Each structure stands twice: as C-alpha cells, then as structure tokens.
A and B are shown apart, each in its own frame.
Chain A
C-alpha cells in the first residue's frame, strides 16, 4: 500500500475518470450519475450487493458496455467510441474477467503473447521471452505449453493477469476476479493482485473479498441500486459506515 494519493496533489490527471455517467437496460436504470476518479498507482475497490451495477460500471471503462450519458476519460482523454482509436485505448487498459476467458484453443504461452504480437507488433521471440517472465512472476511458468482446460481455475486466472500485464497497461480492471474460484484458489489470485498493487499498478477491483479490500485498497466504493452510496478509506468504511445501506450490507456479509 502507498501513502501517496496522487489525485490529492491537484495537478495530476487521474488515470480513470468518470463524470456523470448514466446507463439504462431498457427500463432498468443501472448506473445513476456515477462520478469516480482513480489516480495513478491507486487501488480502488468497488463493493456492493449483486445487481448494484458494480460490474457494469467496471465494464464501461473499456467500453465492454456502452453508456447513455456522461463522460469517461482515460488520462484526461475521452474514451473513443469505435474503431482504431477505441482499440488503441483498450490496449492501454487491462481487464481480468470473472470467467478468466483465456483463449481456449491456444497454449498458455500463446495466450500471453497474442496481444503484444498482434496489437503492439512486438517480435515473436521478444514477446515469448517477456511472456515467460510474466508467467514466472504469477507462478505458472511450468504450464506454459499446456492449453487452458488443463489448468486449475486459480492458475487460469493468474495467466489472465499475466496476459493483461503483457500489454503494459496504465491500469487494470478486475471484474470479480475470484468469484468463479474454489475457496482454496482465491488466495493465490489475491496474492498476485496484492503484489501488483504493491508495485504501484493502478487497479479498479470489483470484488466480494472484504479482507482484500481492507488490506489492499486505498479507497473503497460502496454501490447500491446503480449509485455510488459511499466512498471512503477501507478503515473508515469498514469500521464506521455512514449510510444505513452500507451498514446493512456489511452486517449481511459478516453474519456468515
């Protein structure tokens, strides 16, 4: 964890900024006037009951979901809506999915090299060397020549993190990265994420792992029914939630 919070020293442009973002699914108002800033090196954790819109919010940032109104800025530049510009922007913002989404027809190594070779035109040999370094970093280098189906869920998710790191992203979005994992595999993924946070990666994490939020987050955002209800440091949020909805939510999960 870092002490510095770059968005407080004014001059610095946030890596991710959402201004008055609105989204509807038909009659359902899933994002209501969302305002959010994630500074460089900051780890922001979004929590909230299911259906609160936290996953949707995460997915709007690289336009996996479109928005109806408002603005999304990456390093101060508005998110392009289509074409080459959008692809270039996505290349700079990593994403780790709940269901891993490793390319099932490719080896683990190819999963990590595909982005750099196809998008950044990194020479194959170089991409392979870097991929092996990243796989070693997340502890799955011995699996490099297997296909995803041969790996455990925890291993697959660590590969997914390596795949996203291979693009040298400015920030990584984690969309419930441990929700599809068996309990004993959650720890290995969270420890990779904790290391990343320690190295200064800018991260936006949607999760149900309260201990991770408590230990690693610089800021916790609590969402309910499409709105950001509360935003605070983890200590303040978990010990003194201000809103009744946050209190109810924390009660409901702590009673288990």
Chain B
C-alpha cells in the first residue's frame, strides 16, 4: 500500500478477514444460484410461449439481416460521434461562461446549463422534429437527432468540465502566471489539459448516455440501429429475438467505451500522482 500509485479506492479498502471472506463467499454463491434460477425461469417462459421457436430466429441466418443491422449500427455510431463532438464543444463554451470573471457571462452560462440539463431529451427532439420544420428550416434527419441529443447532454458536460477545472491545484495556475503567461495561455496550456485528465471517465460515461439517447432516432426516422431493428421486427414479426440481439450489440459497444474509460483513468493516475517526499 506504500506504492505511490495507491488510488482512492485502495485507500478506502480494508483487506477482509477470514470471517468476512466466508460471508462474502456464501453471499456470492446464494446470489449466483438465485440469478441462475431466475434466468432458467425466463428461458422456460420464452420456450412455453414459443419465442424460442426457430421461425423467430431464422432471420439471423440471412446475410441481409446482418447487413441491415450493420448499416443501422453505422448510423448509430455516426450520430453518436457527431453528437459527442457537438456536446463537447457546447459544454466547453458553457463551462468557459460559467468560470468567467464577468458576472453577466456567469449568469448566461448558468442559465444555459440549467436549461439544457432540465429539459428532457425527447422534448428537444420534438422541437427539432415538429417546430423547426414549421419555421421553414429543412433539416436532414441526421441533424434532427444529433443536435437535440447533443444539446441535452451539453449542460452536464459543462459541469463535468468545470469540476475538472476546479480540481486542478491552485499552484499550477500560480506557477504559470509567475512565468508571465497570459490568462488564456495559462488556461489552455496548463489548467485545461490537466482538468480534462480528471474528467475523462465522466466524459466517457456521458458519451455512453449520448449513444443511448440516439435510440430516439426512430422519432425522426433516422436509420440508426434501433430504427432498423424496428423495421426488421415489423417485417419478420420476431420482436424478442431482434431486441435481444440489438441489446447485446449496444451492451458490447458501451462495454468497450467503459473499458476505454478505465484505461484512460489508469493512464492518468500514473501521470498525475503527486509525490511530495
């Protein structure tokens, strides 16, 4: 534990004694058994209801099905990536307003953050889907999903970034100022690069939420994974099978993103450990 890399989790973790280990093992066994029984019940229910019949799953033997889902996945990834970029840009600007020395700028920043955080994503989507066309603006479906999803996440990202900026030790700023660096340089070259390291895990979590929010694409009929899944369901009448497969795909992608987040956090901890001895 004397390792310099000791992180907060290790610091809060007390190695269990023999009795705790026995209790933990018993609880794990009982939980696993319980989950097994539940899963068996679910599968049995499906079998009884005929959901496991080959006819519902036959569509997955066709290449066209996978091609179609693949196209949907590309749509999802494109929308999520674009929404992620816009979210970050908007979040950054709102964060700059929030930490400004000007009271008016701070007020505007706070209002934007509260507005974007407070309104449900679906409401923003309806705005772009129903109101924007009425204003005479023709917008491709891609933007009708990415913009509202991005706006909805931007306030949270602004707050995540702000907490990162606040987490950078005051001395970093002072050292940069003492070299004669201007405020903008101090922020862009010293404070923000460190702040972003603090919040990479939270930012990636937010990207997962953005990716999941793109499933609202069906509202604006943008062909993402979810929308294409719905089309498959209505063509083949196999609701459960398609939803199960699509869920697995979403879980897999988000799992990869979360692994990326862990990896980034580990790398950061290696670089930012403060050693004073």
Question: Chain A interface (Cβ within 8 Å of chain B)?
Answer: 62, 64, 84, 87-95, 97, 99, 101-105, 114-115, 118-119, 147, 149, 151-153, 160, 163-164, 167, 180, 182
Contact = CB atoms under 8 A, between A and B. Distances in A.
B4 interface: yes
A182 B180 contact: no
Nearest to A173: B178
A82 to B, nearest CB: 10
A103 B185 CA distance: 13
Contact of A101 (B4, B171, B189, B275): B171
Nearest to A116: B179
A9 B275 CA distance: 46
Contacts of B172: 101, 103-104
Leading 8 A-B pairs by shortest Cβ distance = A91-B180, A115-B179, A101-B171, A101-B175, A95-B178, A119-B180, A90-B180, A149-B273
Given A105-B194, A149-B271, 9 more contacts: A64-B174, A101-B169, A103-B172, A114-B190, A119-B179, A147-B271, A149-B4, A160-B175, A163-B179
Nearest to A110: B189
B177 A90 contact: yes
B89 to A, nearest CB: 22
Nearest to A117: B189
Interface in B172-200: 172, 174-182, 185, 189-190, 193-194, 197
B272 interface: yes
Contacts of B177: 64, 87, 90
Contact of B272 (A62, A87, A99, A104): A104
Contacts of A152: 275, 277
B64 interface: no
11 contacts: A62-B178, A101-B174, A101-B175, A102-B175, A103-B176, A104-B272, A115-B179, A118-B181, A119-B179, A147-B271, A163-B179
B54 interface: no
B276 interface: yes
Q: Interface size class for chain B?
A: 20 to 34
Most buried by B among A84, A90, A180: A90
Contacts of B272: 104-105, 149
Chain B binding site: helix, strand, loop or mixed by DSSP?
A: helix
A163 B172 CA distance: 13
B274 interface: yes
Contacts of A114: 176, 179, 181, 189-190
A167 B180 CA distance: 9
B180 A88 contact: yes
A104 B175 contact: no
A177 to B, nearest CB: 13
A180 B178 contact: no
B179 A180 contact: no
A45 B270 CA distance: 37
Nearest to B275: A149
A153 B277 contact: yes
A88 B182 CA distance: 9
Contacts of A163: 175, 179
Contacts of B4: 149
Interface string B258-277: 00000000000011111111
Given A149-B271, A180-B276, A182-B277, A87 B182 contact: yes
Contacts of B181: 87, 114-115, 118-119
A102 B172 CA distance: 7
A222 B169 CA distance: 30
Interface string B41-72: 00000000000000000000000000000000
Nearest to B4: A149
A102 B179 CA distance: 12
Nearest to A182: B277
A89 B180 CA distance: 7
Nearest to A62: B178
B228 to A, nearest CB: 42
